Amino acid sequence: MMSVQRFAVIAVSVCGSLAAVLLGIAAAADFGGIDPVGRIAALGVALAWFGASAAGPAYYARHLGEDTSEQRRIVRLTVLTQVFSVALAVAAVSRNLAVTWVSLETTTIVGAFLVAAGDDRRDALEAAWKFAILCFAGVGFGLVGIGLLAASAKGIPGVVPTNLDSLALVAHRLDPRLLSLALAALLVGFGTKAGLFPLHWWLPDAHSQGPTPVSALMSGGLVATSLAVIVKVLATLQGVALVGAFQHVLIGSGVVGLFVASFSMIDQRDSKRFLAFSTAENVSVMAIAVGVGTPLALAAFAVHLLAHAAIKTSAFLSLGALVACRGSRDTDRLAGAIGRMPGATSVLLVSIAALAAFPPSPLFVSEVLLVFAAFGAHMPWLALAVTGLLTVAFVATAQFAVTACLGADKARSAKGQRLARLYTAVSLAPIALAVGVTLLRPDWVLALVRGVAIATTGRMPW
Amino acid sequence: MSGLTFALAAISALASLLLVWEKSVSGSAVIYAVQAACVAGIALAGARDAGLLVLAIAVVALLAKAIVLPIALRRTVARAGSSIVVDASVHTPAALLVAFALIAVGFLAIGSVSAPAGLALGETLVGLWLVASRRALLSQVVGLMAAENGAALLMVVLAGEQGALVEGLLLLEAVAIPLALLALAALVRRAHGSADTSLLRSLSGNRDEG
């Protein structure tokens, strides 16, 4: 007979999956008047939320044995995953900075305990501590930024300083000195949550040490939401002269971050940590796109954000199946898994190929768009730097794929456990959707991408 | 800006310098309580005419920041053992000089807009400096709590007229973050058998795993 705890895990996960699907439909169909950047972020959150929720019962099944305290821990973990996801969804769609701040603060509080629940207890706690300290400091800066933004609007009648729509109407009347400080604080605050260089130090640890569904949720959803908030703030102030300086900061952060992440991916033996550095790499690409700031670059940003959320969710979930089976995250020990777990390994292989921007990956589309945008913005050096560094990341990713998915089977004994086939099916869904959308290019997606460019720059991307 | 607001902000800034100087976490908890009482007092003074809800939130924030949290911190210290003393990676005189400089930076940045806001920004920076320069888990928590006090003061001074919204944000920040950190610190200490963050260095990423 099914225990109450097992039933609770399944029930909560099913509810979460349904909520994620509803969020995705609402964002895709433009219900509720969400702005285009919010819709893109909400779609990213929905994909990661669905993956983390639907895969949860199968992933945690091995912990739901006879031990009731362990069962209760998994129930708590499942509930916290849903709280984290709901907070992300609210932050993604909100146009009020105070609401966004509370939501992202909630993700930090809940996220710390989610990361701490990783299988390797001591390392997971270390990662959780780094995540908590850095992100709490970051969101503290975010609060300072909101306060300074409010101060910059002081004396302007009728303005609600935490509401982006209200601020957009008076953007040119805000006190420029306070506004520059506010933007700096907001960039540090939300940039810390997004994992922008050099505020990304928590990211490789937290994304690699947490339970796999949590890693997928953080890499797919948290990063998307935090970046979207930065874009929303910059879009609100479009036309204000000093925003250009912050876009240059984003380009600098992105290029150095891309350099650091790409080279950190080379010969990375911890497979989950490899994916975490890949997230840092993709965050950097998106930061560069926002920094370039042309309509084409913002279109590239939108495609990249959505594609990365889908692909990374699939990559983490499929890798989770292999890690559970092998009982190790070591890349060498995953080798040969294709013979034992062809389904999960194939999903991982496809995900890794997509992360390497191998056509028809949507990341190929976004990266080509970004390079064109950089040339179009008279930044040929940036286009060349991005191309060079993405080549390094491509080589590192190919090396990882060959070692982890196609290498000879070196495992003497399999001490892990196999996950249910449903888990593999769930891990396949996000990437299948991403590649399908890339091939079919439905009108609503093109309209949404165009909408992001128009909302952030006021001009059509093509 | 009233003279009382400036006086409380100045005491609060002074408290952040004392936190750099104080050696024990228990003593830091008392200093934090004074600092938090000043910040919450300014919020409460601003909330007097803003309606019952805002006033209620401000009172709860004052109780939480100035009484509940310092007690929780001292209890955590007692549970961890009475020997917890701040273990700084920077000598106290140097740390104090940096803290003075950070207060000055904050004041120069936005002091012309509002002197208490300048002090508040300085307090935030000093709190973050405490986090960066301390090794013991609980003293990092104190540093972050002090930084949150600074951020809260800044919000009250610059955006206080937003009423319930600001008070709500401050209450969340005042209670949720420190409690979450104290709980996490207890878990880390239990797992690692130490409250020294210098031991938390196992995540190199390239080690052999079982």
Question: In angstroms, rounded to a whole number, what is the distance separating the alpha carbons of residues A223 and A202?
Answer: 13
pLDDT of B71-94, one tens digit each? 888 887 777 665 556 666 778 889
Specify which residues B136 forms β-bridges with.
Answer: B196
Residue A398 or residue B59, greater confidence = A398
Residue A76's CB is within 10 A of a number of other CB atoms, namely: 14
CA distances from A69 to A57, A63, A205, B174 (A): 17, 10, 26, 31
| Inter-chain CB proximity B159 and A150 less than 8 Å | yes
Q: Which residues contact A150 (CB under 8 A, 6 or more apart)?
A: A161, A162, B155, B158, B159, B162
Residue A58 near residue A321 (C-beta atoms within 8 A): no
Chain A residues within 8 A of B133 when measuring between CB atoms: none
Specify which residues A330 forms β-bridges with.
Answer: A270
What type of residue is A357? A
The burial of A364, by beta-carbon neighbours within 10 Å (0-12 exposed, 13-18 middle, 19 or more buried), is given as middle
Joined together, the tokens standing for residue A399 give 């090396």
Instruction: Determine the residue of chain A that is closest to B149 in CA distance.
Output: A140
Burial A288-321 (b: 16+ CB within 10 A, else e): bbbbbbbbbbbbbbbbbbbbbbbbbbbbbbbbbb
Q: Quote the minimal CA–CA distance from A25 to chain B in Å.
A: 31
pLDDT at B197: 61
Question: In angstroms, rounded to a whole number, what is the distance separating the alpha carbons of residues A435 and B69?
Answer: 50
CA distances from A52 to A12, A221, A252, A313 (A): 12, 10, 33, 8
- The percent of residues in chain A predicted with pLDDT above 90, rounded, is 52
Residue A162 near residue A221 (C-beta atoms within 8 A): no
- Measured in degrees and rounded to the nearest 5, phi and psi for residue B137 equal -55, -50
B interface mutation test: which of A148, A159, A279, A331 has the most B CBs within 10 A? Answer: A148
Within 145-164 of B, beta carbons closer than 8 Å to A belong to 147-148, 150-152, 154-155, 157-159, 162
SS3 A139: helix
Q: Which residues contact B9 (CB under 8 A, 6 or more apart)?
A: B38, B42, B115, B116, B119, B120, B153, B157
pLDDT of A293-321, one tens digit each? 999 999 999 999 999 999 999 999 999 88
pLDDT of A80-136, one tens digit each? 999 999 999 999 999 999 899 989 999 999 999 999 988 777 888 888 988 998 998
Whether a cis peptide bond, with omega within 30° of 0, leads into A360 is yes
- Determine the Cα angle at A312 with ends A307 and A316, to 5°: 160
pLDDT of A218-242, one tens digit each? 999 999 999 999 999 999 888 787 7
- Give the least confident one: A407-416, B70-79, B129-138: A407-416
Residue A221 or residue A151, greater confidence = A221
Joined together, the tokens standing for residue A271 give 């497979």
Which member of B150, B191, B206 has the closest CB to residue A125? Answer: B191
pLDDT score of A435 more than 80: yes
What type of residue is A147? G
B interface mutation test: which of A109, A119, A265, A322 has the most B CBs within 10 A? Answer: A109
Q: Quote the minimal CA–CA distance from B155 to chain A in Å.
A: 5
Which candidate, B22, B25, B40, B36, places its Cα nearest to that of B69?
B36
- Measured in degrees and rounded to the nearest 5, phi and psi for residue B88 equal -90, 145
Q: Which residues contact A388 (CB under 8 A, 6 or more apart)?
A: none
DSSP state, A129?
H
Question: In angstroms, rounded to a whole number, what is the distance separating the alpha carbons of residues A307 and A430?
Answer: 9
Burial B71-82 (b: 16+ CB within 10 A, else e): ebbbebbeebee
A417 band by pLDDT with thresholds 50, 70 and 90: low
Which member of B131, B154, B203 has the closest CB to residue A123? Answer: B203
Question: In angstroms, rounded to a whole number, what is the distance separating the alpha carbons of residues A346 and A404?
Answer: 11
CA distances from A160 to A34, A39, B55 (A): 19, 23, 21
Which member of A128, A161, A327 has the closest CB to residue B159? Answer: A161
Joined together, the tokens standing for residue A169 give 């109407």
Chain A residues within 8 A of B121 when measuring between CB atoms: 144
* Length of chain A in terms of residues written: 462
Q: What is the ipTM of this complex?
A: 0.83
pLDDT of B21-52, one tens digit each? 887 888 888 898 899 888 888 877 776 666 67
pLDDT at A261: 94
Instruction: Determine the residue of chain B that is closest to A179 in CA distance.
Output: B110
Chain A residues within 8 A of B159 when measuring between CB atoms: 146-147, 150-151, 161-162
Question: In angstroms, rounded to a whole number, what is the distance separating the alpha carbons of residues A238 and A231?
Answer: 10
In angstroms, how far apart are the furthest CA atoms of chain A?
Answer: 72
pLDDT of A25-46, one tens digit each? 999 888 878 899 999 999 999 9
B210 band by pLDDT with thresholds 50, 70 and 90: very low
| Inter-chain CB proximity B184 and A121 less than 8 Å | no
CA distances from B163 to A78, A182, A255, B44 (A): 35, 20, 41, 11
Domain boundaries, chain A: 4-457
Residue B64's CB is within 10 A of a number of other CB atoms, namely: 20
A286 band by pLDDT with thresholds 50, 70 and 90: very high
Residue A94 near residue A103 (C-beta atoms within 8 A): yes
